Copies of this chain bind each other. A is one copy, B any other.
Amino acid sequence: MIEGINMDKRPIGIFDSGIGGLTVAKEIFACLPREDIVYFGDTARVPYGTKSPQTVKKFSCSNTKFLMSQKVKIVIVACNTASATSFGKLRAEFPSIPIIGVIGPAVKLALMCTKNKKIGVIGTESTISSNAYLKEIRKFKSNVSLFGQSCPLFVPLVEEGWIDRKETLLIAKKYLTPLKRKKIDALILGCTHYPMLKSVIKKIMGKGVAVIDSARAVAEKCKKVLEEKGLFNGKKRNGWHKFFVSDNPLRFKRAGQKFLGRKIDKVAQIDIG
């Protein structure tokens, strides 16, 4: 990129059902420090993972509309359930802006990692039953097997802060044992909350299994799209980060710090209803 040419001062927009997407935001902040960023967490309607595709599509559209009102130049769907159910719909409804989901980057990484061509994916009920990961894999490979497992208790466990407890280990064993038996050698964390449980998951799956957290891959994909389309900010100073939520900001501030690894100062509440 030649500075001054093809620059775009508008912020990057990110949305998630709540705080989970902050694991993605954290990587985008690190990867694109000069960019201004608007993050929206739909904390009044969280979670998405147990709701129907139709309802998640409706929520994803209203979230994207909000980000558009903030004049963003690109939208990152930092939520697996929204990516799995609503990606096509969002691209059709908002053709004027690039939209990046979390599924494509995770699948590319998993395909690079697997040697025995057996990949596992864990996620919410809606994500797993959408078959979105399998559809994405089939775009590139027909000889790779995918084994899915929904883990509905992982999000509440993370939200409750029960990261290192024996109860969490027991529940994780229950969910992951069927995947272990399939002898997968790559496991996609198909929910933005799950990186918080990475050490427990690694412990159960063992060293031979690559545990794939798509956050970094999503950030790199975002960088690549901005570069290709000439949308870099071109600032010399660090960008600002604005946070919006649909429920009271207090809980988001408190819990979000664990996901982001730093303090969250200002969070504004909006009415998304």
Contacts and interface: CB of A to CB of B under 8 A. Distances in A.
Interface string A36-49: 00000001111000
A167 B160 contact: no
Interface of A: 43-46, 50-52, 54-55, 58, 152-153, 155-157, 159-160, 162, 166-167, 170-171, 174, 246-248, 250-251, 273
Contacts of A50: 46, 159, 251
Contacts of A156: 152-153, 155-156
B44 A248 contact: no
A46 B48 CA distance: 10
Given A152-B160, A153-B160, A52 B171 contact: no
Contacts of A246: 55
Nearest to A246: B55
A167 B174 contact: yes
Nearest to A43: B51
B247 A51 contact: yes
A64 to B, nearest CB: 16
A55 B153 contact: no
A55 B273 CA distance: 11
The 7 lowest CB-CB distance pairs between A and B, nearest first, are A52-B248, A156-B156, A55-B247, A152-B160, A44-B55, A51-B247, A167-B170
B170 A248 contact: no
A151 to B, nearest CB: 10
B153 A250 contact: no
